[in-house]
Amino acid sequence: MCLRIILISFFLILFFHQGSNATQINVGKQFSIHSIQKAIHQSSNGDTIIVNSGIYFEHNLIVDKSIKMIGINYPVLDGEHKYEVVSIKSSFVTFSGFKIQHSGYGTLIDPAGIKIYDAHKVTISDNIIDDTFFGIYTQNGKNCVIKNNQLRSYGKQEQEIGNGIHCWKCDSMQIIGNTVSGHRDGIYFEFVTNSIIWRNISTDNIRYGLHFMFSNKDSYITNLFRNNGAGVAVMFTTGVKMFNNTFEENWGDAAFGLLLKEISDSYIINNKFRKNTVGIYMEGASRCEMQKNIFESNGWAIKIQASCMDVTVTKNNFFGNTFDVGTNGTLVLNSFNSNYWDKYEGYDINEDNIGDVPYRPISMFSVIIEQNPPAMILFRSIMVSLLDKTEKIIPTLTPENLKDETPLMKSLSL
């Protein structure tokens, strides 16, 4: 009996304590508090701050308590081109529904629209971030969610602009449904592990749509990367899963749909590469599986350097690429099997949908171009077609082993 009373009163105290603690603070012209920073000072952990529409000049807004910040009708936080707009220095913060604009500029302190310092379980969602140096910058974060934000910047040169969503030394991050354009790199990962990048759209960035370094065991799924300066780069990483992404219209000398450098144990499945100068460029990649991708209208579908090994390219569709595969040496430690190549001219007598003669995806002319780029001017001339035809019969310049032994007669329905 005594115990029961004690228990009930304990829960009652707990209940009232919680209730009194989770207060809601309104900020806006019509309320007594006009400054967001002041509201944060007055709040305590677990509170909710509702910010009503209007324009706020808070210099550098510091969020150092575990609170929920919600903007109504996108209140504007303006950094006046001088300050980092929002700094989140506490865990368990939710920050959503704001419009953040005009952050400061500087390569030494890297000011951002929103920067997360050493925190976990922070949620940044549904914000509009316009004209900032860095967009959303996370350093040493864990279990943070960055969701449905729209980031737009107006960089002209690589040195003058930061990255859209920048994560450094993080773990278990979720980057979902964001739209990034006009930054240096759309999404940048360095030392980020066990994270997911899902349903983002990264277009028209100056350097890479997505830039990945030393970030193991991450996945990126169903993203769109279009018309970025140099496509997408994944470097010095192991265990990356790339599923169902679209890489489009990355044009230029050093532009690739997807650049893989020193990658191992990774999976590239169900992606679409369209109209890139080079669909996938691989250097020092090992143990990677490429399956069920579509390569369409690229200059080179795949450029695979001789430094790659154990890369398996199976069951992909190749349509209308100028060159299917390019390489820089004669050593081939990779396999190309059971793909559909629209340039395949072989036959299939037993009608099992597998061509009876192997397909050599490297044409002689692509080897010539590799050695002597200006020779591109001779492409599709009769001389070159003749050379290619003779090379197909008696391979001399092209690597003997690079061939698809079981090319498909019909394209895969992907």
Partner 1 sequence: MNKVIKYVVIDILRSKIVLAYTFILFIISFSVFSLEDNTAKGLLSLLNLVLFIVPLVSIIFSTIYVYNSSEFIELLLSQPLRRKQIWLSLFYGLSASLSLAFLIGAGVPLLIYEPTVTGLIMAIVGSLLSVIFVAIALLAAVSSRDKAKGIGVSILLWLYFALIFDGLILFLLFQFSDYPLEKPMMVISGFNPIDLSRIVILLRLDVSALMGYTGAVFKDFFGTNVGFVTALSVLVLWVIVPLKLSLAKFKRKDL
Measured from the CB atom, is 372 or 390 closer to partner 1?
Answer: 372
Helix (H, G, I), strand (E, B) or coil at 405: coil
Residues in the chain: 414
Q: How far apart are CA 183 and CA 165, in angstroms?
A: 9
Half-sphere exposure in the Cβ direction for 76 (13 Å, CA): 11
* 345 counts as binding partner 1 under rule CB under 8 A: no
- Considering the rule CB under 8 A, would residue 191 count as an interface residue with partner 1? no
Q: What's the chain's Rg over C-alpha atoms?
A: 27
Q: Which of 34, 55, 376, 405 binds partner 1 (CB under 8 A)?
A: 376
Residue whose CB is less far from partner 1, 188 or 340: 340
Pick from 385, 389, 390, 400 the residue near partner 1 by CB under 8 A.
385
* Candidate ranges 6-14, 59-67, 201-209, 250-258; the one touching partner 1 (CB under 8 A): 250-258
Scan residues 23-62 and list those touching partner 1 (CB under 8 A): none
Which run of H or E residues covers position 124? strand 123-125
Rank residues 333 and 376 by Cβ distance to partner 1 and give the closer one. 376
Rounded Cα distance, 406 and 177, in Å: 39
Among residues 43, 202, 215, 277, the one that binds partner 1 under rule CB under 8 A: 277
DSSP 120: B
- Contact flag: residue 139 with partner 1 (CB under 8 A): no
Binding-residue total with partner 1 (CB under 8 A): 35
Question: At 275, is the secondary structure helix, strand, or coil?
Answer: coil
In whole angstroms, what is the distance from residue 42 CA to residue 90 CA? Answer: 16
Structure tokens that stand for 319 in this block: 């349509």
Near partner 1 by CB under 8 A: residue from 300, 318, 340, 359: 300
Check binding of 346 to partner 1 (CB under 8 A). no
Is the separation of the CB atoms in 223 and 178 below 8 Å? no
Q: Please tell me the distance from the alpha carbon of residue 14 to that of residue 356, in angstroms, as a whole number.
A: 77
Q: Does 384 bind partner 1 (CB under 8 A)?
A: yes
Residue 226 binds to partner 1 (criterion: CB under 8 A) = no
Report the nearest approach of partner 1 to the CB of residue 307 (Å).
20
Stretch in the footprint of partner 1 (CB under 8 A) among 35-43, 194-202, 382-390, 393-401 = 382-390
Site string for partner 1, 312-331 (x = CB under 8 A): -------xxxxx--------
Smallest gap from residue 360 Cβ to partner 1 (A): 18
8 A C-beta contact, residue 25 and residue 43: yes
Q: Single out the residue of 181, 183, 215, 182 nearest to residue 197, CA to CA.
A: 215
Minimum CB distance to partner 1 smaller for 102 or for 303? 303
Q: How far is the CB of 379 from partner 1 (least distance, A)?
A: 6
Residues in contact with 65: Cβ distance below 8 Å, sequence separation at least 6, in sequence order: 40, 43, 44, 45, 47, 90, 93
Interface residues with partner 1 (CB under 8 A)?
A: 251-255, 275-277, 297-300, 319-323, 342, 368, 371-386
